[in-house]
Amino acid sequence: MLRWRDLHPYCAAHVVDLATPLDTGRLATTIAGVLEAAGLTGLALDRRYGRYVFAGGPAQVALDVEPAGDDVDAAVAAAIERRINVAFPSDGPLDPFLFFAVPTPAGFRLGISYDHVFAGGESIAVLLSWIVARYQAPTQAAVAVPRLGVDPPGYGRLFAAQLRALLGGLPALSGLVRAARRSVRPRVEHPEDGRNGFLRIPLAPGRNDALRAAGRAWRVSTVDLLLAAMLLAVAPRVPDRGSGLQLVDLGRTAAPAEPRHALGDRTRRHQHHLDAARPQLGPLPD
């Protein structure tokens, strides 16, 4: 994943809409309290040995307030695109979280961009839910935030703890390798341009409900369906390989390592970034 970072910024972003007045000082204090309580501070990366550690300590919160202008959605989209092109340090101490807020008539939108090396989409959704719950609570300390076990001693212990899942997935490994041989990257007009782009595609509430219902019926996540939609959208860019394209088991494949677009879900609470990483911090809130 660090090698991906050498090619271009490897970031993602998520936004939540709050119908609560923006108090920048209180928001920064809330974010710091959640990060400290969860053990997500003092991050240091040792690239030479492929290790990292969250050492703890006071949070250094990077929070910017962006002007909304005449179009809140456009302001949020611009803020997202700027931050998913931030190059995080490749070694030593770093802050993997960049927060921003955009005022709205009803409150504000809170966004976070993060270094994809250290978290997946569902994890960040959970983190945002803790921040929102504390910010909106009458007494911030009343909302408990669990201390996370973010630094397992090594892969051996992790495999032992997930032995059943490991053994259950081994039979599918050869099939995944075969499927990877048929993978192809769509052609782009300017491959030397390593910038990440952001495309906002709103879904009406009824469409979003139908999407979630289809996911439950097919036993896949909403993110899996969005990934399938993205694959279908880029398929015409590889017409010479079209006959060989087929949809594989999205429940066992990794997220695209180079997301060029994000599909926005214009619901009241969440805008989902295109990211299919599995939960790391806890269950995804409804």
Cβ atoms 194, 7 nearer than 8 A: yes
Mean local confidence (pLDDT), 121-150: 85
pLDDT at 185: 67
Q: Measured in Å, how far apart are the chain's first and last C-alpha atoms?
A: 29
CA dist 225 and 215 (Å) reads: 7
Dihedral sign computed on CA atoms, order 107, 102, 223, 213 = positive
Using pLDDT thresholds of 50, 70 and 90, give the confidence band for residue 152: low
Q: How far is CA 69 from CA 76, 102, 132, 197, in A?
A: 10, 10, 24, 21
Name the residue with higher pLDDT: 84 or 272: 84
8-state DSSP, 278? P
| The token pair that represents 107 in the structure block | 């409150």
Residue 276 scores a pLDDT above 50: no
Residue 260 scores a pLDDT above 80: no
| Residues facing 15 on adjacent strands | 111, 271
Neighbouring CB atoms inside 10 A of 53's CB total 12
Cβ atoms 115, 10 nearer than 8 A: yes
Neighbouring CB atoms inside 10 A of 273's CB total 29
- pTM, rounded to two decimals: 0.73
Q: How far is CA 195 from CA 7, 74, 83, 84, 89, in A?
A: 10, 19, 11, 9, 17
pLDDT digits (tens, 9 = 90+) for 157-210: 777 888 888 898 899 889 888 888 877 666 677 777 778 888 888 888 788 888
pLDDT at 259: 29
- Taking the mean position of all CA atoms in its chain, how far away is CA 88? 15
pLDDT digits (tens, 9 = 90+) for 48-91: 888 888 998 999 999 999 999 899 999 999 999 999 999 889 89
pLDDT at 264: 31
